[in-house]
Amino acid sequence: MKKRQIIALLGLVFLLGSFLRLWRLDEIPPGFTPDEAAQGYTAYSLSKTGRDEWGIKWPLNLRSFGDFKPPLQTYLMIPTVAALGLNETAVRLPNAFLASLTLVGVFLLADELFSSPMAGLISAALLAISPWHLPLSRGAFEANLTVFFFSFGFYFFLKMLKAPRWCWQILAALFLGLNLFSYHSAKLITPLIVLIFLGYKFWPLRVKRQKWAALIREVFVKQKLFWLLFGSAFLLAYVSFFNGGQTRGADIAIFHPTDNWQAVKDERWWAVRSGLPALVARFFHNKLTYSLTHFSKNYLAYFSPQFFFSEGPGEGTYGMIPGRGVLYWWALPLLLLGIYWLIKNPQPEVILLIVIILLAPLPAALAKGNRAANRAAVMMPWINIFLAAVIWRLLNMGRKISQQKKFALIIISFLIVFYFAASFSEDYFIQSPRKIAPAMLYGRCRALRWVAKHYPQAKTVVVSRRLSEPQAYVMFCLRYPPKEVQKASPSWQEYSRRHLSFLDQLGDYHLGKFIFREINWASDRQLKNAVLVGKPEEFPGEAKVDKIIYYPNHQPAIKIYKTIDYEK
Concatenated DSSP letters of 174-225: HHHHHHTTT-TTHHHHHHHHHHHHHHHHHGGG---GGGHHHHHIIIIITTHH
pLDDT of residue 566: 46
- Taking alpha carbons only, the member of 142, 152, 172, 174 closest to residue 73 is 142
pLDDT of residue 245: 54
Alpha-carbon distance values, 197 to 3, 79, 142, 193, 530 (Å) = 28, 34, 24, 6, 61
568 residues of the chain, pLDDT tens digit each: 788 899 999 999 999 999 999 999 999 999 999 999 999 999 999 999 999 999 999 998 899 998 899 999 999 999 999 999 999 999 999 999 999 999 999 999 999 999 999 999 999 999 999 999 999 999 999 989 999 999 999 999 999 988 888 999 999 999 999 999 999 889 899 999 999 998 887 766 555 555 666 677 777 788 899 999 999 999 998 887 776 655 555 556 777 776 677 888 888 888 888 888 888 888 888 888 888 888 999 999 999 999 999 998 877 788 888 889 999 999 999 999 999 999 999 888 999 999 999 999 998 898 877 788 898 999 999 999 999 999 999 988 877 787 788 788 889 999 999 999 999 999 999 999 999 999 999 999 999 999 999 999 999 999 999 999 999 999 999 999 999 999 999 999 999 999 888 999 988 999 999 999 999 999 999 999 999 999 999 999 888 999 999 999 999 999 999 997 744 4
> What DSSP string runs through 30-47?
SS--HHHHHHHHHHHHHH
Burial class (CB in 10 A: 0-12, 13-18, 19+), 498: exposed
Contacts of 304 (CB under 8 A, 6+ apart): 371
pLDDT of residue 108: 97
Cα 426–Cα 96–Cα 328 angle in degrees, nearest 5: 40
Residue 548: φ, ψ to 5°: -125, 130
Task: Tally Cβ neighbours within 10 Å of residue 436.
Answer: 26
- Taking alpha carbons only, the member of 91, 52, 50 closest to residue 69 is 52
Residue ranges of domains in the chain: 3-31+87-435, 444-562
pLDDT of residue 206: 52
pLDDT of residue 211: 66
| 3-state DSSP assignment of residue 535 | coil
Amino acid type, 163: A
Helices (H), 115-141: 117-128, 133-137
- Say if residues 492 and 506 touch (Cβ distance below 8 Å): yes
558, β-bridge pairs: 549
- HSE at residue 379, side-chain half, CA atoms within 13 A, is 28
Backbone Cα Rg of the chain = 26
Buried b (16+ CB within 10 A) or exposed e, 316-335: bbbbbbeebbbbbeebeebb
Helices (H), 400-443: 403-426, 432-436
Contacts of 181 (CB under 8 A, 6+ apart): 60, 70, 71, 72, 233, 237, 240
Q: What is the pTM assigned to this prediction?
A: 0.92
